Amino acid sequence: MAEAELAVAQQVDDEAELVERTRAGDRDAFNRLVERNAQKVFRMARHMTRNDQDAEDVLQEAFLKAYRRLDQFQGDAKFSTWLTRIAVNEALMRLRKRRNDKTVSLDEELTLGDSPMQRDVADDGDDPEESYERAEMREILEDAIDALAEGYRTVFVLRDVEGFSTEETAEMLDLSISAVKSRLLRARLQLRDKLRRRLKGHGREKENHV
């Protein structure tokens, strides 16, 4: 077994042990599950809700529901996957409460090229100007992701930002694998177009200030 596969297997075994200890009444074990998954769940919720307070509420509600429903966790998937599914549902409920009347068709089938988009900017220096440029790029990328329609953004965040597999994403969202692939492709194409236009405008702004 490869080293990466061993690490994943160890994590699953460790999670399973923590879950069993939590079921037996060990609060420290649940706290370890919280510490291990909180940052990832918050980041996912922030991308989906586009609001820090909503993301914090989603985080707290997801862990509360996970704790209360721990007897429903069968161990067929990783605990982190099961928890994220709860958080996704909670985030979607919050979005639906504030949704306007605009609707977008999300389910047209397309063939997917499965190469993930570049999602981060390398951090290889301490130069203040370079650091500022990286911060600007991250902000542009995050704004572009936030501007995606809800269904596209959710799939993109789970699949390309958080790194869940297509199968895990489909399970979390109760979608077919083909629907996940279709939405992911459309999200990537829209994001690429949004970034191209934003970066072109950003470049013109810099030239005007020179």
Q: Looking only at Cα atoms, what is the longest distance across the chain?
A: 65
| 152-to-53, 58, 110, 199 alpha-carbon distances in Å | 22, 19, 13, 21
CA–CA distance, 113 with 57 (Å, rounded to integer): 35
Judged against a pLDDT cut of 90, whether residue 119 lies above it is answered with no
Q: 38-94: per-residue pLDDT in tens?
A: 999 999 998 888 889 999 999 999 999 999 999 999 887 889 889 999 999 999 888
Give me the residue spans of the domains in the chain. Answer: 3-97, 128-208
Looking from the CA of 118 toward its CB, the CA atoms found within 13 Å total 6
DSSP code, position 71: G
> Which class is 3-97 in CATH?
mainly alpha
Q: What is the pLDDT of residues 95-117, one digit of tens each?
A: 877 665 344 445 544 444 444 44
pTM: 0.66
**Residue 209 above 60 pLDDT?**
no
- Fold that domain 128-208 belongs to in CATH: Arc Repressor Mutant, subunit A (1.10.10)
pLDDT tens-digit map of 126-163: 566 666 667 777 788 888 888 888 889 999 999 998 88
- Amino acid, single-letter form, for residue 21: R
Q: Do domains 3-97 and 128-208 have the same CATH topology?
A: no
Give residue 34's pLDDT.
94
Instruction: Specify the pLDDT at position 29.
Output: 93
CA gap 43, 157 in Å, rounded: 9
Torsion angle, CA of 104/105/111/116, rounded to 10 degrees?
30
pLDDT of residue 162: 86
DSSP letter at 120 equals -
Q: Look up residue 17 and give its two tokens.
A: 């042990």
